[in-house]
C-alpha cells in the first residue's frame, strides 16, 4: 500500500545524511551529521532522539567527534531491534 508522508516530515528530512523509514512503527530515523539520531513520526513531529554509540569503545559520541558512518547504521539497527523486542513482550 502506498504511504503518505507529511510535508512537515519532508521539510525535516531534507538535510539529513542518512534516513531510515520504519513503516511498521510509522517512525523515521534521521542522522544529520552530529552525534544524535532524531526520530520523527510520519506527521513530521520529532518524537525523540538518541545518541550514536561508537562500536569500538561502546561509548556515546560527543559533539566534536568524527562519527563513523557504520556506527550510525548500527545505532539505528539497535533502535529497530529494541522496538521489535518490546512489541513482542507486550
pLDDT for the residue numbered 10: 92
CB proximity list for 57: less than 8 A, separation 6 or greater: none
pTM, two decimals, is 0.86
59-67: which pairs have CB atoms within 8 A and are 24 or more residues apart? 60/35, 61/35, 62/35, 63/34, 63/35, 65/35, 67/33, 67/34, 67/35
In tens digits, the chain (90 residues) has pLDDT values of 566 778 999 999 999 999 999 988 999 999 999 999 999 999 999 999 999 999 999 999 999 999 999 999 999 999 999 888 877 776
Rg (CA), the chain: 14
Amino acid at each position: 500500500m502506498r504511504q503518505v508522508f507529511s510535508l512537515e516530515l519532508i521539510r525535516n528530512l531534507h538535510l539529513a545524511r542518512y534516513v531510515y523509514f520504519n513503516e511498521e512503527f510509522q517512525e523515521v530515523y534521521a542522522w544529520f551529521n552530529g552525534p544524535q539520531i532524531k526520530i520523527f513520526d510520519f506527521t513530521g513531529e520529532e518524537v525523540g532522539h538518541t545518541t550514536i554509540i561508537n562500536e569500538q569503545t561502546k561509548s556515546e559520541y560527543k559533539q566534536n567527534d568524527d562519527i563513523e558512518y557504520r556506527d550510525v547504521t548500527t545505532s539505528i539497527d539497535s533502535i529497530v531491534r529494541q522496538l521489535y523486542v518490546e512489541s513482542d513482550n507486550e
